Structures are given as structure tokens and as C-alpha cells.
Amino acid sequence: MAKLNMVKALNLALLQEMERDEDIVVIGEDVGVDGGVFRVTEDLHRKFGSKRVIDSPLAEAGIIGASVGMALYGLKPVCEIQFSGFAFQCFHQIENHAARYRLRSQGRFHCQMVIRMPYGGGVRALEHHTESEEQFYAHIPGLTIVVPSGPRNARALLVSAIRDPDPVVFFEAKALYHAAKEDVPDEIEALPLRQAQIVREGTDLTLVAYGAMVRVAREAADVLAGEDGAQCEVIDLLTISPLDRQTVVASVQKTGRAVIVHEAPRSFGPGAEIAASIVEGAFLSLEAPIRRVTAWDVSFVGFARERTHIPDAGRVVAAVRETLAY
Amino acid sequence: MPRKTLEPRFSVEFLSVLDADGNLDTTLEPDIAPERLQELYRAMLLGRRLDERMVRLQRQGRIGTFAPIKGQEASQMGSVFALRPTDWMVPSFRETAAMVWRGWPIEKLLLFFSGYVEGGQPAPDQHDLPVTIPVATQLPHAVGLAYAAQYRGDDVVVMAFFGDGATSEGDFHEALNFAGVWHVPVVFVCQNNQWAISVPLKKQTHSRTLAQKALAYGLPGIQVDGNDVLAVYAASREAVARARGGDGPTLIECVTYRLAMHTTADDPTKYRSEEEVREWERKDPLTRFAEHLKKRNLLPEGLEAEVDAEITAAVQRFEAVGPADPLSVFGHVYAELPAHLAAQRDDLAAWLQAARDPGQAEPEPPSPPMRGQRRTTRWQS
Ligand SMILES: Cc1ncc(C[n+]2csc(CCOP(=O)(O)OP(=O)(O)O)c2C)c(N)n1
């Protein structure tokens, strides 16, 4: 057991999985000698050589496209897109190909690959280094979209993502990379994909969040418990697509109220899908309209305005109070 | 601080073996056994006859839109003929003849072009990717396959196909660049058929040749007479041998011509002249090769009837396939069916069941009026 931050925890997952399975290769810009700009692939190059830890040319479509080819041949590429803001250069490879080969070839081929990308704000970064774009990928059938919320689950989810037979887009919140350390067991640990976790039990309202917003939701729940005596149940989705509707719906059946928190822009975002699932599955239990606390529908705000763009506990608390008072 | 001219030394070779009348340059002739020459001719003829049949089937509404290969038989067959079955082929959407040669049953291709996803499934031991529709995006896949083959130490060459228009896409450049840097066993075959739908080559690129684009990435590039199957074969064999020998990728530009429409949904008379087409018809790769075989007494009799019979039998098998099962669309989205898709499948199954059971079936709503069509009844009640 070691206390690790998210970067080190992810690095451990890669290291142990690569030791276990020779078919795993790591590819991306600066992932080799440099260990990735966030150091997630640190030292892998030294341990596994440049044939397995590939410093690729600066070309996102090339990285994902070539990885699709490798996956079709039976390798298991773990690709790093340096920042999710640059994944639009390979969005077509993800949507047109990685997500579709299983269907297109009627099961003859599939793309076992992980596409890791740092996403989200809160780290005072430039345009294209701040945005939360998971909603684009969540719309694509055939993909699994995973967003860990801390070091231990990040490690355990990355292990499962690497072993999953279908392509997984793995979003890592930059704000969480160095945010906190957690005990991470030495032996390999895997968490099931597509399964949400209840990270705080409650009876009065359901807070649904993922990634960096989980700690915001928990902070809000603590405030509400202390100041209002309201017990919020907090759900950490971990996978946003396919969505674990059951856990969310069962919770709202119990609490009767829901607030959804995400960092992506509101319109057509994951919150809409979650809200629709609640209405479909728990309509008669609802005591109040479902509220969404999200970033605004603005493509980039600059870091001087991030604090009012990304949801914080204060906004969540206010939305919960309104919902409870309805 | 000089200002001087660097002269990267390069030139682009052009290769031609058979002239338009089927005369041979024996010094350049690749040595191929007579029976193999006949196989090659048969495959080209099959490609041509299948194409003609498919246009008719499409016109009769029996299959959907597809891209004819007429005029490109030599480029396709000369190149793919240099592969072993264990090598990989990465097609675009216009490689029908090459795909049949690689073992795709004709009826499967007909199914594919009739909108059955099942037509995209290669046989379990077949080393071919299915058709790719977005232009040039398959080229990085070929590079990745070649990387993986090299990683595993397999004796495998990958051959990828694309058109002249594809060379404008970023994926083409990324693929060639990766292939050069990684030095992987891949052969890029560009069928420069002069047109990308209605856009002529001169509006596609200001390059003197497409082959020269390879040089920027540190690979050999060669231009060949794409209507001369022996030239295409000679260049491909060399490129495949280079790849297999560990000497890296090659770009081959086959200078050819699409004699028919871009797809069956296209009308080429809108953008190109009849004289241009007639000029290229004189360079028809099929008649040229036939002339050559005739001179060598290698042209078999009755081959057309035999090829047509094969196609007819395949069309019959294709037409015997029943209607597509609507529920099968959920089968290959993920390795395991997720709950939300299972629920959607059940919804569709229930709907279909109700529609089959006339007692419960809803009346079908009238289709909304088409543009230009008079609205006669309102959709209500
Ligand atoms: C990325 C992409 N953009 C546009 C299209 C529409 N489209 C289909 S074929 C084609 C022209 C392709 O020309 P070329 O690469 O020369 O190949 P050819 O059709 O001549 O074989 C276009 C524009 C497409 N399929 N994919």
C-alpha cells in the first residue's frame, strides 16, 4: 500500500498492466523519454523500450488511426492525447473507426484500445487546455467513456479500461492530477466499468457527479448536512457512457429529488441524458424538478473567469436548497 | 551567414512495360508464369464484367449506390497480385476487383452495397479490412497494422489503396510520415484516376506527380502506367519485396482513369468531356493486356461466358438471402450488450411483434408529403 496522487496511480496501472501483457503499447506525443507532459507515462520508456512506448510524430489522427490498425492486428494500444482540446484532430478516427470496427466487420475485428486524455479546467490554463468535452464522445455508440474521480479509482478503472475489449475514452481531470493522495494497494486492483458508486449515502436528495465534480458535490453535501441537516446521497458515475441508469434511478426513487453537476456546458450535455433517465425511471417518485449545475454554454472563458464558469460547492448548495424547498 | 541553395537530390521514376497496343518492352517485363498471367487476366475481366452487372443491378434497384472500377482493373489487380494471402489489404471503397481476388465472395460485396452490414465481415482467416468510406482515413490503419506485424515479428506486408483526392487529406500525410519514421512494411497504392468526383487532378494538387509526395517523408515514390498491368505488377512486386525485406514503405502512383461515373449516383457528363473519355478508352487496360496475351497465344477461349456464369451464380445466392433482421443491429456495438441497448432491442422487438399481430397493430401513419407533392390528406386523429 502506497500513498499516491492520481498521476502516480495511473502510472502504476500502466506499469503493472504492461508487465502482465506484452500486447500493450503506449503511444502519444512526448510519452516516451519525457514521460508525458503530466508524467503519467514516466519511466515506462526505460522499462519497456521505444518499441512499446512510442514517441509519435505530432499528429493526433495519426496516433489514433495507427492505433486502430494496431488494435485490429491484436495489440492493445493505450494512446495519450496530450490535451482533450486537441482530440478534435482525431475525432474522426475515434468516431468513424475505433467505435465502429466491431459493427462494421460484424464482430470479426474490434478495437481494444484506450484513449487517455486530460480534460477540464481549474488549473489556470490556456484555451484548448481547459474545456470539458466528454459530451461529444458520450454520444458515440460503441465507446465507453470513463472519468475517474481520485487516485485509487483512477488506477483501478484504467486497469479495467485496458482489459475491456471495446475502445474506452479515459478522461483524466487535470485538476485532480495532484489534488490529493490516496492509499493505493500494491497488487493490481480493477473496478468494473459502467458501474456508478454511491460515495455518500443520503435520503433527501441525489447529487449526481463525475470526475472533478465529485469532490465539489461531496463538499456541498457536507455543507448541507452541517447547515441544513439535509442528507444528500452522492453518486460518482465513474463511467458516463454507457450510463449506469439503475443506480441513479434507484437513488432518486428513494430520495425523490435530484441535482446533477458537471463541468461540460449545459445544453445537450450529460446532465440532459441523466435527467431524462430519471424521468423515465422515477417519474412518480419526483417531488421537485431536476436541476443541473454545470458550466455555461460558452466555449472558452479564460482562466480569469474560470471560478464562475466551473461549478463550485456554493452553486451546488444553492441548487440543492431550491430543490429541497420546491 | 550564407544564403545558398540546397539541392536535395531526387527524381521520380516512371515505369511502363506494355504500350497501348499490347507491345512489350521485354527488358522490363516481370517474369510471370503463363498460367499466372491468365489468372491475372481472368481477375481483371471478372472485375470488368462484375462492374457492368452491378451497374445494371443498381439501375434495376436491386442493389444500392456503388463506385465502379471500369478502367482501373490493371491498377487494382497488378498491385494486389503481388501480395500473399497472409499479407494485409486495406481497401477504400473502389477495390471490388481486388477484393474478389482477395477472397471476398461476390455475393458478400453485393450484400454490402445493398446496405447489409453483414457484407463488411471478412472471413475469419482473411487478412483484409472492410471497405472504408471516409477518404484517406484508412491509411493510418494500414500503418498501424504494419507496426503491429513488425512488433510481433510476423512476415507480413500491408498494402493500402486510395485515390488522388485522398492525397489532399491530412490522414494521408500523417500515414506516410508515420510509415517513414517507423520504417514499417507498408505499400501505399494511389490509383490516380484523374478525378475526385468532379474535381480534376490539377485542382487537387499543384504537384507535378503524386509519387513525389513520398520523397518528403523519406520514402521511395514511383509513378507507373496504371493501365499497364505488367508495369503495376513490376512496381508492386518490388515494393512488396522491399517491405518484406525490412526496407520500409513505398508509395506507388498508378496513372489511370475512371472510365465510368464516380458512383452510380453521379453524372460525369456534367464535368468532363467525351473526347477525354474516348482518349482514355483507347488506353483500356483490359484490351491492352488481351492483345498481349493473344500475341503469346495465351488468351483462353470462352472465358467471358465462364466469368459471367460465376457472377450470375453469385447474384442468385445474393438474391436468396432473406430480409435483414432488424434486431441484429444491436449485436456488434459492444462485446457485451449493455443494459440500455438491451432495453432498446426489447422495445424494437415488441414493436415488431405488435406490427406483425394485426389485432394490436397501430395503423401506419401516412408518409409526410414529399417536396413538390400536393398535400392531399392531413395527418391527424
Ligand atoms: C473525408 C471524406 N470527405 C468527403 C467524402 C465524399 N467523397 C467520396 S469519394 C470522394 C472523392 C474521392 O476522390 P479520390 O480520392 O480521387 O478517389 P476516387 O473516388 O477517385 O477513387 C469524395 C469527396 C468522403 N467520402 N470522405
ipTM over the 0.90 cut-off:
no
What per-residue confidence (pLDDT) applies to A286?
98
Distance from the alpha carbon of residue B196 to the mean position of ligand 1, in angstroms: 6
- Of A62, A96, A104, Cβ closest to residue B175: A62
Among all residues of A, which ones are annotated catalytic?
Answer: 129
What is the band of B104 on the pLDDT scale with cuts at 50, 70, 90?
very high
What per-residue confidence (pLDDT) applies to B378?
37
| Mean per-residue pLDDT over chain A, rounded | 97
- pTM of this prediction? 0.90
Q: Is B314 in the pocket of ligand 1 (CB under 6 A)?
A: no
What per-residue confidence (pLDDT) applies to B7?
76
Please identify among residues 137-156 of chain B the ones whose CB lies closer than 8 Å to any CB of chain A: 137, 139-149, 151-152
CA dist., res. A221 & res. A13, Å (int): 31
* Residue B372 pLDDT > 80: no
Residue in chain B nearest A164 by alpha carbon: B335
What is the band of B194 on the pLDDT scale with cuts at 50, 70, 90?
very high
Helix (H, G, I), strand (E, B) or coil at A79: strand
Q: Lowest mean pLDDT: which of A20-24, A226-230, A247-251, A306-310? A: A306-310
Atom of ligand 1 nearest to the CA of B191: 21
pLDDT tens, B149-168?
999 999 999 999 999 999 99
What per-residue confidence (pLDDT) applies to B8?
73
**Side chain identity at A295, as an amino acid letter?**
A
What per-residue confidence (pLDDT) applies to A301?
85
Which of A315-319, B12-16, B365-369 ranks highest by mean pLDDT?
A: A315-319
Q: Lowest mean pLDDT: which of A60-64, A125-129, B196-200? A: A125-129
Helix axes B229-244, B34-59, angle to 10 degrees: 110
Q: Which residues of B touch A141 (CB under 8 A)?
A: 333, 341
* Residue A304 pLDDT > 90: no
Catalytic (active site) residue B258 = yes
Distance from the alpha carbon of residue B250 to the mean position of ligand 1, in angstroms: 22
Average pLDDT over residues A34-42: 95
Distances in whole angstroms, Cα of residue B350 to Cα of each of A276, B336, B346: 22, 21, 6
The pairing of strands A24-28 and A53-55 is: parallel
Test site for ligand 1: of B197, B204, B271, most ligand atoms within 8 A of the Cβ = B197
- Of A73, A102, A243, Cβ closest to residue B332: A102
What per-residue confidence (pLDDT) applies to B36?
96
What is the band of B181 on the pLDDT scale with cuts at 50, 70, 90?
very high
Q: Is B167 in the pocket of ligand 1 (CB under 6 A)?
A: no
Q: Note whether B248 and B254 are within 8 A (CB).
A: no
What per-residue confidence (pLDDT) applies to B10?
80
Please tell me what DSSP assigns to residue B129.
P
Cell 452522492, residue located: A234
What per-residue confidence (pLDDT) applies to B380?
36
Test site for ligand 1: of B93, B135, B254, most ligand atoms within 8 A of the Cβ = B135
Q: Note whether B18 and B292 are within 8 A (CB).
A: yes
Distance from the alpha carbon of residue B92 to the mean position of ligand 1, in angstroms: 9
CA dist., res. B264 & res. A214, Å (int): 53
- Of A66, A194, A245, Cβ closest to residue B143: A66
Burial of B287 (0-12, 13-18, 19+ CB in 10 A): middle
pLDDT tens, A192-230?
999 999 999 999 999 999 999 999 999 999 999 999 999
Count how many Cα atoms sit within 13 Å of the Cα of residue A273 in the half-sphere of its side chain: 19
Tally of CB atoms within 10 A around B356: 9
Average pLDDT over residues B351-377: 59
What per-residue confidence (pLDDT) applies to B361?
53
Atom of ligand 1 nearest to the CA of B93: 21
Distance from the alpha carbon of residue A106 to the mean position of ligand 1, in angstroms: 24
* Residue B381 pLDDT > 60: no
Distance from the alpha carbon of residue B17 to the mean position of ligand 1, in angstroms: 30
Q: Which residues of A touch B151 (CB under 8 A)?
A: 25, 51, 70, 75
Atom of ligand 1 nearest to the CA of B92: 21
Q: Is B165 in the pocket of ligand 1 (CB under 6 A)?
A: yes
What is the band of B359 on the pLDDT scale with cuts at 50, 70, 90?
low
* Residue B369 pLDDT > 60: no
| Mean per-residue pLDDT over chain B, rounded | 92
Q: Is A41 left (phi over 0), alpha (psi -120 to 50) or beta?
A: alpha
Query: How many inter-chain contacts (A to B, CB under 8 Å) are there?
Result: 137
Please identify among residues 26-55 of chain B the ones whose CB lies closer than 8 Å to any CB of chain A: none
Q: Which residues of A touch B146 (CB under 8 A)?
A: 69
* Residue A34 pLDDT > 80: yes
Distances in whole angstroms, Cα of residue B117 to Cα of each of A157, A204, B123, B324: 32, 48, 14, 9
Q: Does B101 touch chain A (CB under 8 A)?
A: no
Taking the CA atoms of B180, B184, B185 and B188 in sequence, report the sign of the dihedral they define: negative
Average pLDDT over residues A30-41: 95
Count how many Cα atoms sit within 13 Å of the Cα of residue B22 in the half-sphere of its side chain: 14
What is the band of B364 on the pLDDT scale with cuts at 50, 70, 90?
low
Q: Is B265 in the pocket of ligand 1 (CB under 6 A)?
A: no
**Side chain identity at A256, as an amino acid letter?**
G
Distance from CA of A12 to the nearest CA of B (A): 24
- Residue, of A122 and A152, whose pLDDT is higher: A152
Tell me the backbone φ, ψ of residue A299, rounded to 5 degrees. Answer: -75, -30
CA dist., res. A308 & res. A122, Å (int): 11
Distance from the alpha carbon of residue B273 to the mean position of ligand 1, in angstroms: 21
What per-residue confidence (pLDDT) applies to B379?
35
pLDDT tens, B236-290?
999 999 999 999 999 999 999 999 999 999 999 999 999 999 999 999 999 999 9
* Residue A183 pLDDT > 90: yes
Distance from CA of B92 to the nearest CA of A (A): 13
Atom of ligand 1 nearest to the CA of B135: 26
pLDDT tens, B16-58?
999 888 888 989 999 999 999 999 999 999 999 999 999 999 9
Interface test with B, best of A106, A239, A245 (most B CBs within 10 A): A106
Q: Is B133 in the pocket of ligand 1 (CB under 6 A)?
A: yes
Residue in chain A nearest B334 by alpha carbon: A142
